[in-house]
Structure 1
Amino acid sequence: MENLIIKNTKGEQIILGNQAPFYLEKIDEALGVDIESQKSPKQDGSTYIDNTLGIRAISIEGIIITRNEPRKVAEYKRKMERVLNPKLGEVTILHQGKEIKAVVETTPIFPSSEGSRGLFYQKYLIHLICHNPFWVDSFTESREMSYLMGGIKFNLRLPTNFSNRGFRRKCINDGDVATPVIIEFNGPATNPTVINMTTGEFIRVNRSLGEDDVLSISTTFGEKYVRINGDNAFHYIDLDSVFWSLTPGDNILSYESNNDSIKTRVTVKWRNRYI
């Protein structure tokens, strides 16, 4: 079984896998679905409306094994308890190139029943709850939308394209669900706008940016922000804006500005989400 790494907010970690001291035997996951429905008088059954995902529960079973060092069993138990200290907040679980945030439902369990412990070994059980139910890529995807290629223009019509200003990019969400984005503008720009042409939604900031200004926008639920050079700029958002996400599959994004400068750079970043 591929290694599973659990890392806490202090940077301490344990590696569970197929080698000592933390052998990994089994991982179980359960993801609830909250179904929204409506029932009318005298209706048989009900009418399905929508659903949302609940929290993800992860249970891990394994065994601590040492070689001819009985005292090491207690040391490794202590390390597991330290890494999974609930007072440190959420831990990060990394597995098969993806990661998820979780908090321990109970401190690590070390069974004392017959066959669960011995001089050189100790069984362990870990129960975790993931409030954000999605696994995400351990890396970040990014695309730049505004750039300049070539540099000269002729009236003569030729099959070769000498200069091409790109304002559109295709961004592919390989995940299972829509995923939020982080947009970064490097000025200059006036009323910068990024449109998801696939959904028709846009986000616009009614403000001019100088050459040294950096505008950052996050569309993550519960973590939305608009910042210029690190300072809050939420009040500059156009009221018709939508903090859109990338839908699964291909998304065509477009950039617009009332200041068509070749120095402007627009970068979109995201992490694919998986069920």
Structure 2
Amino acid sequence: MRRLTFENSRGESITFYRDPFVIESLTGISEVDSSIQGQVSPYQDGDTYVDTILQPRYPTLECAIKYTNLQEIKAYRKEVLRVCNPKLGLGKLTLELDGDVKEIHATLDSVPTFPDKGENAYQRFMIVWKCPNPYWRDPQEVSRALRAYEGKFTFPFTFPVQFGIEGDVTTLQNDGDTSTPVTISIQGPISRPMIENRTTGKHITVNTTLSPEEILYIDTSRQHKRVEIYRGNQIIRAMGYLNHNSDFWELEVGDNEIRYRADEGLAEAIAAISWHNQYVGM
């Protein structure tokens, strides 16, 4: 089975399957261009491999309107043009293929094209999307919760010193084909929270104190990288609170050991870490 659904930024959706829109061809689902990055030293033969970068993905759909009545054709054509409008920006493609379901953010590369029917019984059309992020992902977001470290270390101190109680250390598994960004939500009260990916040695430390009414939100994706504090209906930009050596880390493929701690915090200060597994094709 091969069924494709596009939902635009207004929440309108259209499904291409059998009736009334019959899929004749669907390409750009697994294939995507890549660019090999290299560098050359003076007098070097060839070059030195640095990385491989995937280019944007271009899913291309060739379809036919199943009906032959002119009024029905006009109505369905109008529906396709309304939902698949390039001016609406990023939407979402969802593909069901042989029992597997994946989704990807996409925008229209051009207005859908409807060639002249000629002697054909059905009206055919073609749609090309552009996916700036080429990775397919699971529709279901994976989420895990961790408890905070309770700090005990204060100045001045006397021996014996109690440096603190270790926070949660857990293993998060990325089942995708590539590393994937995470979102982190931390509910106060807590002071100077730190989330570390021990597998990569990278951490995010935020030099601030959250009240019980505040939530710290972190997004490590390259496209939407941000640190914010939510206080009721107020959104506070908090990039300036990041510790200077913090990294917007991602989950590597496979197991990732994650540690959550803080200078001060109560048991209620839970951190929720969420992500989507990402795939290079279907």
On whether the aligned pair clears a TM of 0.5, the verdict is yes
CA distance in 2, matches of 1:247, 1:180: 9
Residue identity opposite 1:180 in structure 2 = P
Number of the residue aligned with 1:157? none
Any unmatched runs of 5+ in structure 2?
150-164
**1:93-126 Cα shifts (integer Å, max 9, x gaps):** 11132211222222112222655x33xx211111
What is the TM-score when the length of structure 2 is the normalising length?
A: 0.84
Number of the residue aligned with 2:21? 22
Contact 2:166 2:261 in 1 (8 A): no
CA distance in 2, matches of 1:271, 1:114: 45
Matched, 1:102 2:101: no
Number of the residue aligned with 1:111? 115
Distance 1:42 1:208, change over 3 A: closer
CA distance in 1, matches of 2:218, 2:56: 27
1:206-221 aligned within 5 A: 206-221=207-222
Which structure has the highest strand share of the two? 1
CA distance in 2, matches of 1:125, 1:227: 41
Distance 1:227 1:21, change over 3 A: same
Contact 2:117 2:124 in 1 (8 A): no
Number of the residue aligned with 1:34? 35
Number of the residue aligned with 1:156? none
Number of the residue aligned with 2:159? none
Number of the residue aligned with 1:242? 247
Number of the residue aligned with 2:4? 4
**1:23-72 Cα shifts (integer Å, max 9, x gaps):** 11221114111111234566543332222111111111121112x63310
Distance 1:43 1:195, change over 3 A: closer
Contact 1:184 1:215 in 2 (8 A): yes
Secondary structure in 2 matching 1:78: helix
CA distance in 1, matches of 2:40, 2:211: 56
CA distance in 1, matches of 2:114, 2:262: 60
Q: Which moved more, 1:41-50 or 1:86-95?
A: 41-50
Tell me which stretches of 4 or more aligned residues in structure 1 moved more than 4 Å. Answer: 40-44
Residue identity over aligned pairs, in percent, reads 34
Secondary structure in 2 matching 1:245: coil
1:102-251 aligned within 5 A: 102-112=106-116, 114=118, 117-118=120-121, 121-146=122-147, 167-229=168-230, 230-251=235-256
CA distance in 2, matches of 1:85, 1:260: 48
Displacement, 1:86? 0.9
Displacement, 1:80? 0.5
Displacement, 1:81? 0.9
Contact 1:144 1:169 in 2 (8 A): no
Residue identity opposite 2:72 in structure 1 = K
Distance 1:40 1:262, change over 3 A: closer
Any unmatched runs of 5+ in structure 1?
149-163
Number of the residue aligned with 2:156? none
Secondary structure in 2 matching 1:50: strand
Number of the residue aligned with 1:151? none
Secondary structure in 2 matching 1:246: coil
What is the TM-score when the length of structure 1 is the normalising length?
A: 0.86
Contact 1:84 1:91 in 2 (8 A): no
CA distance in 2, matches of 1:94, 1:82: 18
